[in-house]
Amino acid sequence: MRAGLNPEAMLMAWEAGLGRAPLDRALVLLWAGGYGDAADLALAERDRLLLALRRATFGPVLDCVAACPDCGADVEVTLEADAVAGALEAPGPGPLRIGSRAVALAPLTSRDLAAARGVAPGALPGFLRARLAPESDALSEAEARAIEAEIEARAAAAEARCLLTCPDCGADWRESVDIAAHLWAEVEAAALRLLAEVADLARAFGWREQDVLALSPARRAAYLRLARGGT
């Protein structure tokens, strides 16, 4: 199993992701975690790697909060990273059957979503069809629409969702789980805590950032108690 983000990688990911779009932050997190360029992975596979990175860095349990669509109450839910990863559906191998035809349909990736930025919503289905199934230009309009519907269905299947019930009003609904956004929020919070710790120890002992980050969590916590007037 890969190691999680160490303190240096945490700060590197946070700095590289500042000011970037959510799609780019997902790839930055995987790059900082040592997964290389994940831009061409199917979205479900990318999110499985994000969950693996999250599990290795912060543990297997995700604490999430969602707003009830009926009454607006906050609903807390605890998710297991492995269960979420297991529910993600990636398209199977082989061509897509449209009537009597077999059409090669590539999986939707982060690179495809990046290329679709700025495309008008009404033109998006055709844009993605032309990108993921180049042979579809020779198909009838009905066949082309079928491919567009399949692309939309696969995108929905690759999205993590959980069933929630509001304890206040009893409403049931399915909530999307934005894995990349969840992990980014945790990394950002952890990075800002690290920077505060570096600043306190630098003021107290004159240490450089790399000296502080090289400390084990236990030693850093002990020195922080001393620097902050504790015992």
Residue 221 · residue 206 · CB < 8 Å: no
Contact 126, 100 (CB under 8 A): no
Please name every residue paired with 62 in a beta bridge, in sequence order, or none if there are none.
79
Q: Give CA–CA dist 85/50, Å, rounded.
A: 9
Q: How many residues does the chain have?
A: 231
- CA end-to-end span of the chain, whole Å? 37
The answer to whether 203 and 227 have CB atoms below 8 angstroms apart is yes
Better-scored residue on pLDDT, 157 or 195: 195
φ, ψ at 64 (rounded to 5°): -125, 155
pTM above 0.95, yes or no: no
The two three-digit tokens of residue 177, written as one number: 């789980």
Q: Would you give the distance in Å from CA 72 to the centre of its chain?
A: 25
Provide CB contacts within 8 A for 1, sequence distance 6+. Answer: 52, 56
Is the per-residue pLDDT at 231 higher than 70?
no
**Taking the CB of residue 126, how many other CB atoms lie within 10 A of it?**
15
* pLDDT-above-90 percentage for the chain: 80
Residue 1 binned pLDDT confidence (cut-offs 50, 70, 90): low
- Cα separation, 41 vs 133, whole angstroms: 16
Local structure of residue 136 (DSSP, 8 states): G
Bridge partners (DSSP) of residue 65 are: 76
Q: Are 49 and 183 in contact (CB under 8 A)?
A: no
pLDDT for 36-92, tens place per residue? 999 999 999 999 999 999 999 999 999 999 999 999 999 999 999 999 998 888 777
Q: Where are the alpha helices (DSSP H) in 103-158?
A: 110-115, 124-132, 141-157
Q: What is the pLDDT of residues 102-153, one digit of tens each?
A: 888 999 999 999 999 999 999 999 999 999 998 877 788 888 899 999 999 9
Is the model's pLDDT at 94 over the cut of 80? no
